[in-house]
Copies of this chain bind each other. A is one copy, B any other.
Amino acid sequence: MKSYRKELWFNIPTRREFRNITPHVEECLRESKIREGLCLVNAMHITASVFINDDESGLHHDYEVWLEKLAPHEPISQYQHNLTGEDNGDAHLKRQVMGREVTVAITDGRLDFGTWEQIFYGEFDGRRKKRVLVKIIGE
């Protein structure tokens, strides 16, 4: 069994953004030389997500509006977590809806995806350097 590990670093200039990281994960897969196995991609921070969906800007706008409705950023005081001095209580909630991680099948040396599947980093508390972990195991 082979294993491969890499950290991807991002510094999103705004509080929230969805960024397509599929090319980065594909580069990891090439470096790993793994042909059959599983690839885990997870946020290493608890106010960010990794998820799979469509690379369509209208949809990303819809996610933004929807998540803000489900877990509004303001008023800051509505979240006890913000009593610690943070203002990111909402980000911890939004991240649970969108998820921490994806596991992707590796077949014939490629990400085994349906037509429209793309991997996104979902930032909910940006404006600082944060990490995503790529771990691949297989042969």
A interface vs B, CB < 8 Å?
1, 3, 5, 36-38, 40, 42-46, 51-54, 56-59, 61-63, 66, 70-71, 79-84, 89, 92-93, 95-105, 107, 112-117, 131, 133, 135, 137-139
Q: Which residues of B contact A53 (CB under 8 A)?
A: 46, 92, 95-96
Shortest CB-to-CB span from A63 to chain B, Å, is: 7
A-side interface mostly: mixed
Q: Which residues of B contact A62 (CB under 8 A)?
A: 79-81, 89, 92-93
Q: Which residues of B contact A42 (CB under 8 A)?
A: 103-105
Instruction: Assess whether B101 is in contact with A103, with CB atoms less than 8 Å apart.
Output: yes
* Residue from the list B46, B81, B112, B131 in contact with A52, Cβ < 8 A: B46
